[in-house]
């Protein structure tokens, strides 16, 4: 076992699964990134949900609770979702039991008579789910996907032996200091860009997401379109980026939600710098903050520069965080970026 659980344990997970009956109506809700999609593939090996939904943090709201009620859901499984509102969980507990598998920072241990909350630090949620589900079923066919989810979420230190074992099955070597190359890295990029392409129909991507690694080429027709948008924004980034304390700020222009992927890519290539990207989508500005060296806390940074704003969603990890702000707050946000106090956001 490679997981050091901060909340919950394998016994509680197995107990939850054993309580599921054929008549139960299950909802599986996961984050809309590679880690989240892999979590869903892993859990889908042992449960057959009536509802599979991929969301971002702001979509954890009353509307999704109403969706559960309409479908008469009595088992809800959340994976790779940081839920900060106890009221949200308590409302679901009125009609359903809940399982939460996550790896984000949290403020409350949600374990109760109705909820199982399993949280492990240092591994991605997909790896946590993989180890749990493997106690009940052999799912070796998904190990390549779990390994790539770990790399995508930059959670590959604690489970690097697992990743190396998986890589060796495909005649590759995993080097934690030089991993952005080779066939496995190319597959990770194809998956990540395909998720972006299907941003308006994520369930379609989930259904197209192959369990056979040799079928990944089928997704390249979608990922290549997004890649062109990324290449164009990278060119503009070098020309138009604005200096801020400790790094750079840039506004993305694209029909696709590429800001998070682009921020991660730039940060991986410039690990010492703070990278802040914004992207206007509909009535909000999406903000992605990165510092791959983990010397600066991106959660604290965004909290400081958005204090007093009507945030629609915010959260993440020390090296990678995100938020959504209104157009009314955007100019003030940019002014505050120029006044970042590096001493205040230094990671402990």
At residue 96 the predicted structure's pLDDT band, cuts being 50, 70 and 90, is: very high
50 against 317, higher pLDDT: 50
Q: What is the pLDDT of residue 313?
A: 65
User: What pLDDT sits at residue 55?
Assistant: 94
Q: Kindly report, residue by residue over 101-113, the tens digit of the pLDDT.
A: 999 988 899 999 9
Whether 34 contacts 149, CB under 8 Å: yes
User: What CA–CA distance (Å, rounded) separates 45 from 138?
Assistant: 9
Q: State the burial class of residue 258 (Cβ atoms within 10 Å of its Cβ: 0-12, 13-18, 19+).
A: buried
* Full 3-state SS string of 128-170: HHHHHHCCCCCCHHHHHHHHHHHHHCCCCCCCHHHHHHHHHCC
β-strands 75-79, 26-31: how paired? parallel
Q: Which residues contact 88 (CB under 8 A, 6 or more apart)?
A: 60, 61, 65
pLDDT per position as a tens digit, 134-170: 999 999 999 999 999 999 988 999 999 999 999 999 9
Average pLDDT over the chain reads 95
Closest CA to 152 of 114, 123, 117: 123
What are the structure tokens assigned to 222, written together? 């979608």
- State whether residue 290 is helix, strand or coil: strand
Model pLDDT for residues 263-316, shown as the tens digit of each residue: 999 998 999 999 999 999 888 999 999 999 999 999 999 999 999 997 656 777
pLDDT at position 172 is 97
What Rg, from alpha-carbon coordinates, does the chain have? 20
Q: For the chain, what percentages of helix, strand and coil (3-state, to nearest 5) are there?
A: 45, 20, 35
DSSP reduced 3-state for 324: strand
Residue 339: which residues within 8 A CB-CB, separation 6 or more?
245
Q: Can you give the pLDDT at residue 57? A: 80
- Reported CATH class of domain 5-221: alpha beta
Tokens 């890519």 sit at which residue?
265
Sign of the alpha-carbon dihedral angle for 272, 274, 279, 284: positive
Query: Averaged over 120-124, what is the pLDDT?
Result: 93
Strand ranges (DSSP E) for 107-254? Answer: 115-120, 242-244, 247-252
CATH fold label, 241-345: Diaminopimelate Epimerase; Chain A, domain 1 (3.10.310)
Question: Residue 291's CB: how many other CB atoms inside 10 A?
Answer: 26
* Cα→Cα distances 289→191, 254, 263, 292, Å: 22, 18, 7, 10
Domain map (residue ranges) of the chain: 5-221, 241-345
The pTM for the full model equals 0.86
pLDDT of res. 257: 92
Structure tokens that stand for 89 in this block: 């969980």
Q: pLDDT tens digits, residue range 185-222?
A: 999 999 999 999 999 999 999 999 999 999 999 999 99
Higher pLDDT, 169 or 56: 169
241-345 matches 5-221 in CATH topology: no
Q: pLDDT at residue 11 above 90?
A: yes
| Beta partners for residue 252, in sequence order | 279
Residue 1 pLDDT exceeds 70: no
Structure tokens that stand for 258 in this block: 């590429």
pLDDT in tens, 63-91: 999 999 999 999 999 999 999 899 999 99
Q: Give percent of the chain with pLDDT exceeding 70.
A: 98
CA dist list (Å): 120 to 32, 104, 129, 241, 245: 20, 8, 10, 36, 33
- Give every CB contact of residue 130 below 8 A, 6+ residues apart in sequence: 42, 139, 142, 143, 146
């Amino acid at each position: 076992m490679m997981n050091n659980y901060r909340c919950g344990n394998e016994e509680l997970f197995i107990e939850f699964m054993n309580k599921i009956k054929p008549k139960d109506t299950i909802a599986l809700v996961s984050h809309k990134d590679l880690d989240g999609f892999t979590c869903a593939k892993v859990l889908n090996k042992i449960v057959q949900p009536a509802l599979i939904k991929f969301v971002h943090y702001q979509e954890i709201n009353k509307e999704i609770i109403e969706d559960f009620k309409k479908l008469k859901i009595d088992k809800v499984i959340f994976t790779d979702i940081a839920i900060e509102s106890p009221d949200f969980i308590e409302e679901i507990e009125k009609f359903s039991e809940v399982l939460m598998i996550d790896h984000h920072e949290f403020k409350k241990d949600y374990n109760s008579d109705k909820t199982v909350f399993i949280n492990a630090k240092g591994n991605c949620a997909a790896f946590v789910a993989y180890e749990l589900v493997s106690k009940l079923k052999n799912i070796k066919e998904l190990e390549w996907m779990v390994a790539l989810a770990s790399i995508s979420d930059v959670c590959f230190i604690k489970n690097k032996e697992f990743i190396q074992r998986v890589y060796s099955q495909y005649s590759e070597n995993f080097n934690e200091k030089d991993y952005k190359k080779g066939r496995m890295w190319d597959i990770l990029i194809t998956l990540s860009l395909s998720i972006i392409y299907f941003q308006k129909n994520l369930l379609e991507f989930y259904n197209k997401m192959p369990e056979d690694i040799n079928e990944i080429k089928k997704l390249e027709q979608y990922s290549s379109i997004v890649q062109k948008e990324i290449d164009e924004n990278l060119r503009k980034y070098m020309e138009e980026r604005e200096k801020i304390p400790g790094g750079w700020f840039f506004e993305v222009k694209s029909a696709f939600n590429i800001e998070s992927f682009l921020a991660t890519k730039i940060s991986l290539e410039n690990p010492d710098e703070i990278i802040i990207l914004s992207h206007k989508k509909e009535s909000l500005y999406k903000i992605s903050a990165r510092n791959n060296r983990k010397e600066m806390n991106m959660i604290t940074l965004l909290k400081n520069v958005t204090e007093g704003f009507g945030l629609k969603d915010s959260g993440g990890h020390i090296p990678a965080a995100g938020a959504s702000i209104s157009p009314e707050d955007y100019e003030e946000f940019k002014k505050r970026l120029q006044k970042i106090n590096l001493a205040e956001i230094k990671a402990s």
